[in-house]
C-alpha cells in the first residue's frame, strides 16, 4: 500500500532546450540557485606558490670594507649556500625570539641549510642542529614570551666580525671562487669569545678540526 502511494506521487519535470524529452531535476538543480553562470575562472582552486624564506635575503651579505685594497671587481661574492645559511640563521634567531642574529644563529643557519661542506663536516663530527639549539638555550637562555624579534634581527658585533673575517680570508687566498659556508664557519670559530665558538667547543670542535676543514678550501 505504501509502495503504491509513493509511486503515484507527481514528479516535477523541466524542459531541456536541446531535447524534446523531459527529465526529472537532480538534487543539485532543486537546491542550488545561481544568479549567474558558474565559470571555471571563479572555481579556480590552483594554490598560490609560497615564497621561499630566503627569497627576501639580499644577493650579498652585510660585510665591512675589506682590509686589503682590492678593486671592486675582485671582491668575491657569497655563494648561494652561504646566503641561504645566513637567511636561515636570521630565521633561527627569530624562532628563539632573540633581538639579534649572533654567531650561534649563523651556526644554526649553516646546519639548517644542510647541503654545504661545512654542514656535512659538522654533522660528521656529531654537531647537529638539535644539539646546537639546545646549547644555545643553555648559554643564552630563553627570550621573554611576549618579545617578538624584528624581521631581520641585526647582527651582533662578533657575528659581523665573523662575516668580515670570511670575506678577508677569501681575498687573502688569492683564489677565484665564492665565499662559502665553510669560510663563514671558520669565521665563527675565529671569534673566541662568541657564543658560536663556545657552543662549537662544547660539542667537540677544536683548532685541529678547524685546520682540517680549512684544507678543504685551500
Segment 11-46, tens digit of pLDDT: 444 444 444 444 454 444 444 444 444 344 333 333
- Identify the residue whose cell numbers are 665565499: 179
- What is the tens place of the pLDDT at every residue in 53-96? 433 344 567 776 666 556 666 789 999 999 999 999 999 999 99
pTM more than 0.95: no
| Chain Cα centroid distance, residue 189 | 23
- Bridge partners, residue 61, by sequence: none
Angle (CA) 16 22 25, round 5°: 80
H-run or E-run covering 106: helix 103-113
Q: At the top level of CATH, which class does the domain 72-215 belong to?
A: mainly alpha
Query: Domain coordinates of the chain in residue numbers?
Result: 72-215
Q: Which SS3 state, helix, strand or coil, does residue 83 take?
A: helix
What is the mean predicted confidence (pLDDT) over 119-140? 97
Amino acid at each position: 500500500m505504501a509502495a503504491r502511494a509513493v509511486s503515484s506521487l507527481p514528479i516535477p519535470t523541466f524542459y531541456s532546450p536541446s531535447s524534446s524529452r523531459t527529465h526529472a531535476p537532480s538534487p543539485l538543480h532543486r537546491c542550488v540557485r545561481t544568479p549567474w553562470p558558474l565559470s571555471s575562472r571563479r572555481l579556480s582552486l590552483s594554490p598560490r606558490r609560497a615564497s621561499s624564506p630566503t627569497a627576501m635575503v639580499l644577493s650579498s651579505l652585510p660585510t665591512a670594507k675589506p682590509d686589503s685594497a682590492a678593486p671592486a671587481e675582485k671582491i668575491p661574492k657569497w655563494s648561494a649556500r652561504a646566503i641561504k645559511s645566513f637567511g636561515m640563521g636570521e630565521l633561527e634567531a627569530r624562532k628563539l625570539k632573540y633581538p639579534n642574529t649572533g654567531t650561534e644563529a649563523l651556526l644554526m643557519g649553516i646546519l639548517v641549510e644542510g647541503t654545504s661542506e661545512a654542514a656535512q663536516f659538522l654533522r660528521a663530527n656529531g654537531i647537529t642542529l638539535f644539539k646546537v639549539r639546545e646549547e644555545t638555550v643553555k648559554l643564552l637562555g630563553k627570550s621573554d614570551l611576549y618579545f617578538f624579534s624584528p624581521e631581520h634581527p641585526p647582527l651582533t658585533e662578533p657575528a659581523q666580525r665573523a662575516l668580515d673575517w670570511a670575506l678577508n680570508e677569501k681575498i687573502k687566498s688569492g683564489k677565484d671562487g665564492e665565499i662559502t659556508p665553510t669560510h663563514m664557519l671558520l669565521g665563527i670559530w675565529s671569534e673566541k669569545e662568541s657564543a658560536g665558538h663556545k657552543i662549537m667547543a662544547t660539542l667537540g670542535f677544536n683548532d685541529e678540526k678547524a685546520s682540517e676543514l680549512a684544507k678543504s678550501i685551500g
